């Protein structure tokens, strides 16, 4: 890449440290600089449009340029540009949003606590679990079990929960009291001849064995995404969550549902927990909460857990946790307005109409020579590229097949994401059937070009 001096790309290379980026490669290639967004499209600095096939980072449910959210932010900022929630302070936007979330909860919840990101929400969850067990006299019950390939954020505690090697290596993670159990990816991890139901039983047995090996009196909680997003859009096998929840109940282990990606209609129901009949004690949520227009996330807790926190607060003198921007009034007002828009425009009904177009379109690629597995539900999906369809052999990490496919898609005006060699799809919920077909057609072109590259290089 030829970088023009003082251009946005040159200044970006000079001054910005990018998340989830190959830092050495970035110094050579620079960034795609986005200048504008409208609907499902974003536009680069020369005006080229791209379908945002991942809704930014799984988050921009209403697409770009929703004027009602812009107006709500401006209106609230003029009235109350900032205030906090420390020391029994409150404001109506925060009250309104907390009340609405409790009303929308898939199971009875008692209180909502606000953070600025999904990572902070899951970091808060860890602290709540530890605080709760200390407060009720179970100081030894502290271990939290996550899953290999699960994604729960990048703060020290949340990254420890995340089950991906690149989030741990060189960061000295995971921290103590964080454990990982088996990844429930049937396509990759099932044994020969094993049904989905039998595989789910084995996954539940693995969890139970881990709890027993560690000592049930030491295991506090289990955290899971309804669909494992950044791990490759991995959907749970049949009967998996029913069997997992039975194990948790047997050993008095709290269930934390990470709804950061799946919440707010992404899976075809309002919550991923409803799609898979989850009964969590704690929920974390972010991303589509405000359609990503402002940073905000939340944790909801059951009444039982709230009672424990009150007991601890009585002992210490306060619930000693919070952020400067917890429940920021502008972010809270925008989030509450987004929830109103979802309901007024029957976005859930719209997802129900468009989801089959996406899922059928993705499954139409199943016979492609590069495609090993197609998976998804609602308006989220993944396609795993493989070296050998029959044996499921994967490409080598240095082959860069997924990255090449994503780059070709971008060239054709589609932004998607390669998680290894799994291609992710999570368009704005407002996408139409016609726009979905256009997105899939652009991906199909990129997929064919990737297959040609693989053949030319003798990678398969």
Residue 155 sits in the same domain as residue 203: yes
Q: Which of 182, 160, 179 is nearest to 171 (CA)?
A: 160
In 345-459, where does DSSP find H-type helix?
A: 347-363, 401-411, 433-456
Residue 167 sits in the same domain as residue 310: yes
So what's the pLDDT on residue 2? 61
Within a domain: residue 337?
yes
> What Å distances lie between residue 158 and 113, 122, 211, CA to CA?
17, 6, 20
So what's the pLDDT on residue 4? 78
Residue 431, class by beta-carbon neighbours within 10 Å (0-12 exposed, 13-18 middle, 19+ buried)? buried
Residue 201 sits in the same domain as residue 305: yes
Residue 392 sits in the same domain as residue 358: yes
Tell me which of 325, 344, 363 is where a domain ends: 344
DSSP-assigned states of every residue in 249-287: HHTT-EEEEE-TTTTTTTTSSSSHHHHTT---SEEEE-G
Phi-psi region for residue 58, left (φ > 0), alpha (ψ -120 to 50) or beta?
Answer: left
Residue 305 sits in the same domain as residue 319: yes
Tell me which of 344, 372, 407 is where a domain ends: 344
So what's the pLDDT on residue 1? 52
Within a domain: residue 328?
yes
Q: Which of 144, 131, 123, 124 is nearest to 309 (CA)?
A: 131
Domain with 48, as residue range(s), is: 32-65+346-456
Query: Do 411 and 332 form a contact (C-beta atoms < 8 A)?
Result: no
As beta bridge partners, residue 418 has: 423
Q: What share of the chain is helix, strand, coil (3-state, %, to 5)?
A: 45, 15, 40
Residue 258 sits in the same domain as residue 141: yes
CATH assignment at residue 414: 3.90.1150.10
340-353 confidence digits (pLDDT tens): 999 999 999 999 99
Structural domains counted in the chain: 2
Give me the average pLDDT of each 10-residue run along the chain (460 residues): 80 95 93 97 97 98 98 98 98 98 98 98 98 98 98 98 97 98 98 97 98 98 98 98 98 98 98 98 98 98 98 96 98 98 98 98 98 98 97 96 98 97 98 98 98 96
Phi-psi region for residue 400, left (φ > 0), alpha (ψ -120 to 50) or beta?
Answer: left
Within a domain: residue 16?
no
List Cβ neighbours of 89 (8 Å cut-off, separation of 6 or more).
83
> What Å distances lie between residue 160 and 20, 43, 154, 287, CA to CA?
16, 36, 8, 20
As beta bridge partners, residue 414 has: 51
Residue 53 sits in the same domain as residue 107: no
Tell me which of 313, 344, 375 is where a domain ends: 344
What are 386's two structure tokens? 């493989």
Residue 258 sits in the same domain as residue 300: yes
* Widest pairwise Cα distance in the chain: 69
Mean pLDDT of the chain: 97
Residue 299 sits in the same domain as residue 225: yes
CATH assignment at residue 165: 3.40.640.10
Q: Is the CA virtual torsion 360, 365, 367, 373 positive or negative?
A: negative
Within a domain: residue 239?
yes
List Cβ neighbours of 242 (8 Å cut-off, separation of 6 or more).
277
Within a domain: residue 355?
yes
Residue 318 sits in the same domain as residue 426: no
Within a domain: residue 205?
yes
Residue 151 sits in the same domain as residue 198: yes
Within a domain: residue 10?
no
93-103 confidence digits (pLDDT tens): 999 999 999 99
pTM, full prediction: 0.96
Residue 191 sits in the same domain as residue 51: no
Q: Which helix (H) or strand (E) holds 373?
A: strand 371-377
Q: Which of 319, 290, 341 is nearest to 116 (CA)?
A: 290
CA 230, chain centre distance (Å): 7
Q: Which of 264, 258, 308 is nearest to 283 (CA)?
A: 258
Within a domain: residue 17?
no
So what's the pLDDT on residue 5? 79
Distance CA 260, CA 252 (A): 24
């Amino acid at each position: 890449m030829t970088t023009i001096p003082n251009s946005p790309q040159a200044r970006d290379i000079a001054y910005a440290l990018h998340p989830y980026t190959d830092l050495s490669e970035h110094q050579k290639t620079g960034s795609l600089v986005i200048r504008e967004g409208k609907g499902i499209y974003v536009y680069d600095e020369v005006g080229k449009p791209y379908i945002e096939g991942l809704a930014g980072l799984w988050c921009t449910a209403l697409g770009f340029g929703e004027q009602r959210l812009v107006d709500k932010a401006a209106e609230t900022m003029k009235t109350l540009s900032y205030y906090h929630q420390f020391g029994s302070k409150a404001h109506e936007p925060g009250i309104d949003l907390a009340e609405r979330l409790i009303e929308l909860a898939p199971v009875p919840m008692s209180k909502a606590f606000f953070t600025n990101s999904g990572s902070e929400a899951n970091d808060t969850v860890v602290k709540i679990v530890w605080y709760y067990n200390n407060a009720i006299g179970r100081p030894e019950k502290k271990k939290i079990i996550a899953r290999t390939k699960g994604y729960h954020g990048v703060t020290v505690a949340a990254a420890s929960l995340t089950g991906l090697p690149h989030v741990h290596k060189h960061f000295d993670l995971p921290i103590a009291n964080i454990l990982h159990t088996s990844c429930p990816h049937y396509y990759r991890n099932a044994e020969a001849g094993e049904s989905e139901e039998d595989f789910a039983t084995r996954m539940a047995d693995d969890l139970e064995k881990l709890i027993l090996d560690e000592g049930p009196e030491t295991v506090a909680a289990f955290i899971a995404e309804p669909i494992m997003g950044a791990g490759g859009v991995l959907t749970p096998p049949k009967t998996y969550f029913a069997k997992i929840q039975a194990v948790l109940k047997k050993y008095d282990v709290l269930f934390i549902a990470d709804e950061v990606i799946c919440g707010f209609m992404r899976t075809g129901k309002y919550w991923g927990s409803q799609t898979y009949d989850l009964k969590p004690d704690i929920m974390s949520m972010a991303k589509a909460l405000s359609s990503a227009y402002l940073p905000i996330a939340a944790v909801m807790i059951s009444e039982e857990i709230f009672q424990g926190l009150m007991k601890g607060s009585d002992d210490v003198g306060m619930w000693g946790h919070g952020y400067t921007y917890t429940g920021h009034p502008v972010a809270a007002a925008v989030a509450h307005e987004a929830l109103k828009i979802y309901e007024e425009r029957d976005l859930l009904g719209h997802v129900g109409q468009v989801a089959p177009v996406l899922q059928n379109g993705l499954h139409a690629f199943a016979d492609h020579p590069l495609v090993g597995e197609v998976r998804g539900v609602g308006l989220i999906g993944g396609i795993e590229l493989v070296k050998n369809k029959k044996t499921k052999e994967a490409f080598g990490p240095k082959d860069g097949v997924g990255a090449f496919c994503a780059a070709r898609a971008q060239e054709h005006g589609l932004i998607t994401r390669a998680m290894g060699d799994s291609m992710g799809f999570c368009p704005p919920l407002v996408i139409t059937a016609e726009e979905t077909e256009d997105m899939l057609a652009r991906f199909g072109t990129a997929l064919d070009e990737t297959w040609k590259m693989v053949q030319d290089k003798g990678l398969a």
